Structure 1
Amino acid sequence: MHHKRPIAFLCLCFLYLLPLASVSQAHVGLLRPCSRGSPRAGCPPVSNGQYIDYDLNSPIGTHDIKNAPLCKQTIASATRTTVQAGQDLKTEYSIGATHGGGHCQWALSYDNGKTWVVLKTLIRRCLQNASASYSVDVPIPKNAPNGKAIFMWLWNNAIGDRELYSNCADITIKGGVNGGSLKGVAPLIANYGNSSLLIPEFGSPGQDDKHEAFAQRKSVTVSVC
């Protein structure tokens, strides 16, 4: 008779924990380099002012509302990933639901997120057919200024609610130039509050994916003194 109570208790605990696990694995999040507040194995503990982001894979907003700022967290990580200029940075992702793939952008900022320059863009095919693991090599320009920077990933999903996903990793760039600047385009911010561009669902061939908007991104120069 006494053995039934602990078994029931363990089952009840499992039922409570299961929804939490489902939430943390939903959608997609940046796994490597380690995002701000990442609870993933191998990532450093959260820094002062950060929170542990158990919903790392969740969107930061939809076309109707902003749930979180770009990067999701505004406090930089004390422990940074060292990145070599002139080489590819291998990025990896925690996969829950990929919603038919979509548009991805990767960008750098040297001024705490005020100005961003895009490093790479994948139109429509990003995350398509991803399963348990997914990785993308992002080139770090050989003339990238040395020093502290923020690396950001953005994703507009193809199918489902019109969402924007974003994670940021704090990095240190070495092997580039001291000072100088990077020229490129600013990221396209879509499906992120009513004032943003609406990208409708585009899961089927021929559906409008607003790809022309990416060709119209504003030119930007990021300078580092």
Structure 2
Amino acid sequence: MLAGLSLAHMALISPCPRYNAHGLDCPEIPEGEEPDWTLIKPIGKAGEAYNPLCKHTTPTKTPSAVWAPGQTIKVQFQGMASHGGGHGEFSISYDNAKTFVVVHQELKYMFVDGPSLLSNKPTRLEYSIALPETLPGANHAVFAWTWVNASGNREFYMNCADVKISGKPGSFTGRKMTVANYGPDTPTIPEFYGYYNTGISYYINSRNVTVIGYGSDEFEDLTYVASNGEGNGGGSSDDNYFYDGEFYRTSIMHPGP
């Protein structure tokens, strides 16, 4: 247990989320920001959003981790209140947390690995996740953990870590990250009371979303612009676009953070 920490809920510690005061191998906090001692708390509940998605919206200048498509990554948590389990997802964004695609789900039994009779004690604080082999590369991606707890207040937990995905430019299609119990405009998932399929339809029926990565600096760095079938694909007449059969591309380097 980490000294001086109130372990009332649960939080991601590795890869280190943005500004986490208790994270492992954390990058430098951006200028003007402060260490966050409260990442174990939810960012909202049914009917009310306390914080924006990710809680902190300014990315770190260096990544918390460097991964490759197809790699099995280790994700670690801290906390002493598993709230009987619940539905968890691990997702990645390529547009600074505007669009998230799911790369792994832990439905029903997050932190408890089976029916827990609504126990509040976690039995698992570490997960191994195989990243999809077709993930595109990006110097700046955002990895998110989200969770709707099985018992207790109807809350939504989310931590975000800035990561690098070493790989080529491309796109990836998968389930859109589910957001529930977070303000008045999201669905409310009630307490499970031992019925672990409660709310699961939101996760298994989530629509697909496609994300686009610009490639990491180890590879040719091309901006991908989805074709809209009009003109030069949405670029200005000064941009050097060419069509590869799937996307319009430009040799202009994508911007930094």
Q: TM-score range by the shorter chain?
A: 0.7 to 0.9
Structure-1 separation of matches of 2:111 and 2:193: 12
Determine the structure 2 residue equivalent to 1:221.
210
Q: Work out whether residues 10 and 80 of structure 2, in 8 Å CA contact, stay in contact via their aligned partners in 1.
A: yes
Higher helix share: 1
Runs of 4+ in 1 over 3 A off after TM superposition: 129-133
Structure-2 separation of matches of 1:169 and 1:116: 13
Q: Work out whether residues 95 and 132 of structure 1, in 8 Å CA contact, stay in contact via their aligned partners in 2.
A: no
Instruction: Report the 3-state secondary structure (helix = DSSP H, G, I; strand = E; otherwise coil) of the residue aligned with 1:196.
Output: coil
- Unpaired segments ≥5 residues, structure 2: 114-120, 214-223, 225-257
| Paired amino acid for 1:32 | S
Determine the structure 2 residue equivalent to 1:69.
52
Instruction: Report the 3-state secondary structure (helix = DSSP H, G, I; strand = E; otherwise coil) of the residue aligned with 2:49.
Output: coil
Structure-1 separation of matches of 2:53 and 2:142: 11
* Deviations, residues 91-139 of structure 1 (Å, cap 9, x unaligned): 0001131111100011111111121110011111111166486111222
Q: Work out whether residues 28 and 61 of structure 2, in 8 Å CA contact, stay in contact via their aligned partners in 1.
A: no
- Unpaired segments ≥5 residues, structure 1: 1-17
1:34 equivalent to 2:16? Answer yes
Determine the structure 2 residue equivalent to 1:13.
none
Q: Work out whether residues 86 and 141 of structure 1, in 8 Å CA contact, stay in contact via their aligned partners in 2.
A: yes
* Deviations, residues 147-188 of structure 1 (Å, cap 9, x unaligned): 2200000000000000000000000011x3x21100101011
Q: Work out whether residues 36 and 73 of structure 1, in 8 Å CA contact, stay in contact via their aligned partners in 2.
A: yes
Q: Percent identity?
A: 35
* Deviations, residues 171-217 of structure 1 (Å, cap 9, x unaligned): 0011x3x211001010111000112111000041x366111121221
Determine the structure 1 residue equivalent to 2:169.
179
Determine the structure 1 residue equivalent to 2:156.
164
Which one scores higher on RCO, CA 8 angstroms, separation ≥ 6?
1
Determine the structure 2 residue equivalent to 1:142.
133
Determine the structure 2 residue equivalent to 1:9.
none
2:75 paired residue among 69, 75, 91: 91
Instruction: Report the 3-state secondary structure (helix = DSSP H, G, I; strand = E; otherwise coil) of the residue aligned with 2:206.
Output: coil
Q: Work out whether residues 36 and 50 of structure 1, in 8 Å CA contact, stay in contact via their aligned partners in 2.
A: no
Structure-2 separation of matches of 1:53 and 1:106: 21
| Paired amino acid for 1:122 | E
Instruction: Report the 3-state secondary structure (helix = DSSP H, G, I; strand = E; otherwise coil) of the residue aligned with 1:118.
Output: strand
Determine the structure 2 residue equivalent to 1:7.
none
How much is the aligned-residue C-alpha RMSD, in angstroms? 1.9
